[in-house]
Copies of this chain bind each other. A is one copy, B any other.
């Protein structure tokens, strides 16, 4: 099981070295060149909170989701070849919280309230979800070579029918969305005996929207049925998934049985082994592709911050000196799509970089535009240098061989 991990130590450059220097680079660039302009223009109020060093340093994360008893926790045990502290496995709904399974020198469990104040970890923002959620969050630490390059997020199974009505006391889908936006891979678990996609599960899947490319699907316990039944079940799964995910690209489904027990049905052993192997290879590549994704994410964020600064600068400069604030403000909010056009042409910014106008109109309405700041020329220059010089240089640190996995091309296409 663990051999696959070694494959992450690639040819030539050590993955971890690259990883470290990219992390340090990103942290410094963010603090000096992006954060100042974000702060000037209330970026964190509009989009997402300030990033911490931990957000850049964190190991790639894998989120495991699915209906209850589909084998999520068992999969983690199989991957780690041991139990994690606080782990429970059983035929009834067992995992009742979000568990961040992390590397640690010794075994320990940290409750949610303590976890979100640890600035070494990228979970501080979770405090916004409130106490009801924090009592359903914990970190489980253990020593495992797998976890040196990877953090796993175990989650409570999605319930259906009767049970789903008994509310959880916190916004499950919002939490899922928070994780989905931040993790590097989302594993959706299905098992051959529990295929129907309940309404709650559908909403949960939809909460991952915008992160479809991270989704891998596991059809678990596949040896529990005959080949013909498996074909039916698998076909039905793809049939309905195609509708729920609603992307033309077909999601990759790994068919197999992801645990330590011997196969109940030997007929498809070869297939199951290949599928398991493919999945582990993909997971093993995560640490490599994570640096790339982080650079990519920062590029996206920097481009948005630039547009946002232009926009607030535009509003500020058009506010009348004495009277008619409210009216002019109102007019500009209405006229937002045209203002986008105007700025896009003037500054040569692609329209696709602009934020969703409806979302903006909502946030802008209660604000007072005369409190906005004009763009600081120096800060803008720093931001532009970041986009034109610094981040592309950082990308070059990542050896070509690693670029081939995943998002490399997309990231480059955006920089050029």
Residues of A near any B CB (own CB < 8 A): 227-228, 231, 234-243, 248, 250-251, 253, 255, 267-268, 270-271, 274-275
Q: Which of B238, B270, B271, B275 contacts A242 (CB under 8 A)? A: B238
A198 to chain B, nearest CB (A): 14
Identical copies in the complex: 2
| B236:A234 contact, CB within 8 angstroms | no
| B236:A239 contact, CB within 8 angstroms | no
| B234:A239 contact, CB within 8 angstroms | no
Q: Which of B228, B238, B267 contacts A238 (CB under 8 A)? A: B238
Q: Identify the interface centre among A250, A267, A274: most chain B CB within 10 Å of its CB.
A: A250
Cα-based distance from A374 to B227 in the complex (angstroms): 62
A237 to chain B, nearest CB (A): 8
Q: Identify the interface centre among A236, A239, A248, A268: most chain B CB within 10 Å of its CB.
A: A239
A26 to chain B, nearest CB (A): 36
A147 to chain B, nearest CB (A): 29
Cα-based distance from A238 to B271 in the complex (angstroms): 19
A271 to chain B, nearest CB (A): 5
| A250:B235 contact, CB within 8 angstroms | yes
Cα-based distance from A239 to B250 in the complex (angstroms): 7
A396 to chain B, nearest CB (A): 35
A63 to chain B, nearest CB (A): 22
Inter-chain contacts of A270 with B (CB < 8 A): 227, 267
Sample 14 A-B pairs with CB under 8 A, ordered by A number. Answer: A227-B268, A228-B271, A228-B275, A231-B275, A234-B235, A234-B238, A235-B250, A236-B250, A239-B239, A239-B250, A240-B248, A241-B242, A242-B242, A243-B243
Chain A interface mostly helix, strand, loop or mixed? helix
Cα-based distance from A241 to B237 in the complex (angstroms): 12
Cα-based distance from A250 to B240 in the complex (angstroms): 8
| A228:B274 contact, CB within 8 angstroms | yes
Cα-based distance from A248 to B238 in the complex (angstroms): 12
A212 to chain B, nearest CB (A): 13
Q: Across chains A and B, which 10 residue pairs bring their CB atoms closest together, nearest first?
A: A238-B238, A239-B242, A242-B242, A236-B250, A235-B238, A227-B271, A239-B250, A238-B239, A228-B274, A242-B243
| A271:B231 contact, CB within 8 angstroms | yes
Known pairs A238-B239, A239-B239, A267-B270 / 5 extra A-B pairs, C-beta < 8 Å: A231-B234, A231-B253, A234-B238, A239-B251, A240-B242
Cα-based distance from A241 to B236 in the complex (angstroms): 11
A246 to chain B, nearest CB (A): 8
**A233 nearest in chain B by CB position:** B250
Inter-chain contacts of A237 with B (CB < 8 A): 238
Cα-based distance from A318 to B243 in the complex (angstroms): 48
Cα-based distance from A242 to B268 in the complex (angstroms): 26
Inter-chain contacts of A268 with B (CB < 8 A): 227
Cα-based distance from A248 to B271 in the complex (angstroms): 29
A240 to chain B, nearest CB (A): 7
| B250:A231 contact, CB within 8 angstroms | no
